[in-house]
């Protein structure tokens, strides 16, 4: 998931359900995550029903302005640079 291997007992974050734990790995790359008493199967990459829902931690959400500003353009450049470095 996101360039890292999903392993048993990994802690993950679903954008709707919060923090969960990987409890089973399947041969096709999918895996089962437990959220308390609820369990969900995700496809390789952290997708559920074709939607990317699973991450390693709570993702950061940046709300873009209605119109581009110098500050917003600087944030986009910084994110691009960080992405290149990772």
Q: Is 20 within 8 Å of 27 (Cβ atoms)? A: no
Which distant-in-sequence residues (6+ apart) come within 8 Å of 19 by Cβ? 11, 12, 13, 35
**Does 4 map to a domain?**
no
Question: Is 1 inside any structural domain?
Answer: no
Whether the model clears a pTM of 0.85, i.e. scores above it, the answer is: no
What is the predicted pLDDT for the residue at 61? 86
Asked whether residue 2 is assigned to any structural domain, the reply reads no
Within a domain: 6: no
pLDDT at 40: 98
Q: Total domain count for the chain? A: 1
Q: Which of 13-17, 24-28, 51-55, 59-63 has the lowest mean pLDDT?
A: 59-63
User: What confidence tens digit (pLDDT) does each residue in 56-75 have?
Assistant: 999 988 889 999 899 999 99
């Amino acid at each position: 998931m996101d360039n890292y291997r999903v392993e048993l007992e990994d802690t993950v974050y679903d954008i709707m359900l919060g923090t969960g734990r990987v409890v089973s790995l399947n041969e096709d790359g999918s895996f089962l995550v437990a959220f308390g008493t609820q369990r969900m199967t995700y496809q390789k990459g952290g997708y559920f029903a074709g939607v990317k829902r699973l991450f390693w931690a709570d993702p950061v959400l940046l709300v873009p302005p209605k119109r581009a500003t110098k500050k917003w353009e600087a944030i986009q450049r910084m994110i691009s640079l960080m992405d290149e470095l990772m």
